[in-house]
Structure formats: structure tokens, C-alpha cells
A and B are shown apart, each in its own frame.
Chain A
Amino acid sequence: MTAAAEGSPPLRVAGMRRSPLLQSEAVQGFALISPTFVYALILLVLPILVVIAHSFWTQNYLTIDHTFTLENYRIALTEPIYRDLLWRSLYISLTVSLLTVVLAYPIAYFISFHGGRHKSLWLFLITIPFWTSYLLRVMSWKVILGYNGVLNSGLMGLGIIDEPSTALLYNSSAVIITLTHAWATFAILPIFVSLEKVDRTLVEAATDLGDGPLRSFLRVTLPLSVPGVISAALIVMIPTVGDYVTPKLVGGKDGVMIANAIQAQFGKASNWPLGAALSVTTMVIVSLMAGATVLIIRALQRLAR
């Protein structure tokens, strides 16, 4: 016992000398995230840096001229074709996010407030379309909107139109319709979560203070579910700006978006620096638009008080 007592102080000192680095919570935290962090660094940050670097260089047939230049950005921002494609992409993604949020909100509201015991069943049903490939879902819209498609045959069968309409497929509306459907679930879930967090007693309190169902919704439920609306809008908006598959499949000539142009620069046109400049421009503009969306929704929320 005595020996142990005598032996313990030096042991403790040794222990303290050995471990401050390992005992620090920050170090432990970094250790925990490091695999993911390294992975993200290699596969996300490095490629972005490479893209940014390329955007300041020039393609010289098969080689790349590494002299610094802003020429690519001048082309990306002033050439009418790229400006139009960028505007169209922003227009499509804004319209899609607006439509998706507006259509998703009632569904999320219904599940949250009236789903009762079947909430999980409803959420499960909503995820069912994800059991098939995204390409198949886009293809099915082709079947619906096509020249001999379901919609045209249906309208002709009803005698509303005489010959198949070509206005349905291969334009930006087709892209909007397809994307709105494809992203619905991603909008429903965050809105549902934020509605679940709204204390039902607050709605009762609003009713008690004289509000009818519509007023209490506009003054309590809606403002309190704004965080969900913001995340839904962003989750839909950011990826749809850069969507490449959908416009390729259902967009036709009029539905081409900026991502298709970027793909062309890295592919057939073989002008990586211009493609990189277009990517960076899109990235910056999407970030600005996302920030603006958050600010606008917040301002609307304040106005509603």
C-alpha cells in the first residue's frame, strides 16, 4: 500500500506530461472528423481550386497557357449566349424552387397537422419515387409530355385539341415541370420538420385571442415554419441551377441551361479555362442568389408581424 502511495505521484506527473495533446477536446474532435475532412479536402476543395486556377488561364489548342488573364470572365459575362444561358438557368431554378415550396407546403402541413397516427406512412409514401432511378423519372415525363404522349392523347381524346401539341416537351417549361416533381420530397421534408416543431398550443393561443384558422396560420404557423421554408428553397435552388441531365433530356433547344454549356466547354469545345470561368461565375451568382433569398424571406417574415 505504502509503495503504491509513494509510487503514485510520479506516475500522475508522467501521465500529465504524456497526454495534454490527446486529452484536448479540440484534438479529439479533429481526430473524429479527419477521415471525412481529408476526403472532402481531396475531392471537393482541391478540384474547386483547380477549377478556379483554370479560369484564369488560356486554352492553346492541346496545351494550357498559364499566363494570368481575365479574358474568360469577360466572355462568360458579356457573350450574349452565356449571359442568356445563365439568366435562363437562374430563372428556371428560381421558378422551380418557388413552385416546389408552394406545392410542398400544403403537403407538409397536411402530414404534420392532420397526419395523425399515419405520419410515418405518409412520409414513407413520399419517398417511394426515389426507389427508381432519377433518369427513369425524367424519362417518364417524356412519356407524359411527348408528341404521342399521355397528355396529348388525353387532350385529343377529350376533343380539347385536334392535333398533338409540340409546346409541351423540349422547352424550359418541360424542364420546370420535371424538376419541380423531382425535388418535391426535398422540399416537403424540411418544411415538415419545421412544422412539427411549431407548438400546437401557440395556435390555440392565437385562436383564443380571436384569430380564425386562416389568420392564426398566417400570424403564427407560417412565420414559425420559415426556417423550413428557407432550407427547402435553398435545397431546391442551389442544385437546380447547375442541373445538367434534365435539360439534356426534356429541355430540347430552348431548355438548354448553363451546365450544358459548361459540359460542352469541358467536352466537345475543349476549352477548359472558359468552362472553368463559367463554373466559377455560376457558383458566385448562386451563392449571391441564395443569400438574397434568405434575406428576402426574413424581410417578409418581419413585415408579416
Chain B
Amino acid sequence: MLERVQSERTQSDRTMIDIRDVTRSYGSFKALDNASLAIREGEFFSLLGPSGCGKTTLLRMIAGFDTPTSGSIAVDGQPMDGIPANRRPTNMVFQSYAIFPHLDVEQNVAYGLKRLKLGAGEEKRRVEEALAQVSLTGLGKRRATELSGGQRQRVALARALVMRPKVLLLDEPLSALDKKLREQMQVELRRLQQAVGITFVLVTHDQYEALAMSDRIAVMFGGRIAQVASPKEIYQRPINRQVADFLGGMNFVKAEIVEENGASLVLDTLGFGRVKTDKPKAFVRNGGNATLGIRPERLRVLWDNAAAKFEVAGKVVERHYFGEITHLIVEIPGLEKPLSVTETNDFGADDIPVGTSIRLGYDPEALVAMAD
């Protein structure tokens, strides 16, 4: 079965997890408020949001550790209502890894297989295979207490993968690792998911982690799903200021809607003038105003006589050095807030004196309209 999935390695359009109108209330507090989501088979899907946004609650409801107050969850077409966690086709990698301290690595990985009575040979083969998948071959006899954080995490992964679940749930699996190991594990997790072809659902509050690993991301705030899209779409076309802000820096500019039709918007702004942009699919105007956004790295410093088709002029008021990049704060006449610009240091952006008048070029594609 695993082999077949491996050879296909393609992501189908079939829905693996169907979440319909799920609400979870604790008294009057709604941890999750009418969330609906369809996660596809073979997809690496991330639930991204600040703490308390309901992402972990949603994950635990898929696993069966929590029950929706209303609404339903189906996995692989099977409704999960009333099915306890131990009979669901899902397995979980816990934030704390939850490695059994009284068992060695092999016994940890074989824990769920014991019940299946596969026979010693088959069980051993599957444990070896799972340990190889997470590059832990040869460490089978180690005690859990003798492992590093990264190794524990691999054991937790192997222990879940060996069950060949339809869905692998990961609850902030990288948050306890140091930065370098975390980045290495991001790459490995993504590679592993591609190799086994199992649907991965990752919960994280780290936007870079979600962007780096996912096929699609759901951004959540206050128990509601704000936007579901590919990492690129979420980053470049955030649906509102909250999503834009959570996924990294964004300059917001006040705009007035001049014209609105099916596919595009014409906005009047101070500083950027009259702008025509694509209308986001979920755009619902709220009065006559909107917000125009542009990411700091999409603004570039125009040197000497260089010209761009679209540019704004301003004055550098602050400069912050970050090694490979420099962060400039540029005041533009007519804009209530100065613009943030990140520029690579290849051309000497780190040497621009504060107070210099500069011009910034941009691509109109980089401007994104958001409802107010």
C-alpha cells in the first residue's frame, strides 16, 4: 500500500478530511467558531495562527481527543462522530513528543503495532523501515532518556508513521528545537511527506515554517478561519490586514475605491496615486474605502539615474542593519505612515545615510487591495 502511494506521489483532488461547520464552545467562549475546511488527500496542510486561535483545538478534534460542540468531521469519507481516538485512521506527533520513558526506541515505535499481531518478523521489518525513514537506523536499543530533542522528534514521527495512518497530525512539532535544527527538520519533514504521500496536517504559529512546508495553509484568528490558500497566495494576496500582518511585514496605505467591477478595482491613494489592482476573490467592500498593501521587499531603492515605470520618492528616516539585508524606514510626502523597505546589501543599501532623499521603484503587481 505504501509502495503504491510512493510511486504515485501525486496529490489528488479527493477530500481526505472534511470539516463542516465545526464549533467548539467552552461555556460562552468559542474556541472554534463555525469552521469549515476540506483537506485533500496527500496534501501537506498547515493550520497557522497565534496562540489561542483554535488551531490546536481543531487538530485535537480531528484526532478524537476533543469533540465538536456542533458540526461534523469526516476522515476519508467516514464520519468521525462518536469514534474514539484509538479507532481513528489518524496518528499524531505531539508537541512534547510523548515518548514512552519506560521503553526503548524500538519498543516505542512498535507500540501501536503490538495490538495488530503482525508476527515478530513483519513487526520488526516495519519498525526497521520506519526508523530508516527518519534516519534513526541503529538507535533502536537506546532508551528515550538517552536521546536528544531532534532524535526524540524523529522517534515520535516513526512511531506515528509505522501505523500507516491516512492522516498524520503534527502539533507544533518543531517548536522545541533550536533554530538550525528546526530549519533542517522543515526540509526533512517536507521530503518525508512527499516520500510517503500521507496527508499531513501541521499546527504552527511560525509563519515561515508554514510557508516553507505546506501545500496549503489555513490562517486562523479567534476561532475563525480567515483564509485558506497556497503559501504564495497567502503571502502575496492576504485577504485582510490581520492575515497580511501575521505573515510578515506589510506596508498599509489608505485608499479610496474609485471603481469596482468583477475582476478589478481602481483605487485612489496618496503617495501611490491611482492604482488598478486585481480584485481578491473574497473582497467585500465596506463603505468607500479600502487598504492597499505592499510588502517591504517589493519596494526597491532606485540608484542614481535608474528609473522605474512606477516609483515613489521620499526621505530615509531610519536604517537598521540585519547582515544580509538592511531595513529602511522611508517617509513619503502625503502618507500618514512611513514605508518599510527591505533591501539586499549587494548595492550598498547599508550605507545610505539617514536623511537621504531616495526614490523607490515597485511593480504594480505587488500592490494588494484589502477590504477595510
Contact = CB atoms under 8 A, between A and B. Distances in A.
Interface stretch (B20-28, B97-105, B325-333, B337-345): B97-105
Interface residues of A, number: 19
B111 A206 contact: yes
Given A205-B92, A215-B115, A210 B163 contact: yes
A204 interface: yes
A201 B96 contact: yes
Contacts of B102: 223-224, 301, 305
A215 B112 CA distance: 11
B115 A211 contact: yes
A211 B86 CA distance: 6
A162 interface: no
Contacts of A207: 65, 84-86
B159 interface: yes
Interface string B80-94: 000011110011101
Contacts of B90: 208
Given A208-B63, A211-B86, A224-B101, A199 B91 contact: no
A151 to B, nearest CB: 43
Nearest to B96: A201
B95 to A, nearest CB: 8
A305 B103 contact: yes
Q: Which of B86, B103, B159 has most A Cβ within 10 Å? A: B86
Contact of A199 (B85, B98, B111): B98
A208 B63 CA distance: 7
A223 B100 CA distance: 10
B86 A205 contact: no
B107 interface: yes
Interface string A192-232: 00000001011011111111100100011001100000000
Contacts of A199: 96, 98
Interface of B: 63, 65, 84-87, 90-92, 94, 96, 98, 100-103, 107, 111-112, 115-116, 159-160, 163
15 contacts: A199-B96, A199-B98, A201-B96, A201-B98, A204-B92, A205-B159, A207-B86, A208-B85, A208-B86, A208-B92, A208-B160, A209-B160, A211-B86, A219-B111, A220-B100
Given A207-B86, A305-B103, 14 more contacts: A199-B96, A199-B98, A201-B94, A201-B96, A202-B101, A205-B94, A205-B98, A205-B100, A209-B112, A209-B160, A210-B87, A210-B116, A215-B115, A224-B102
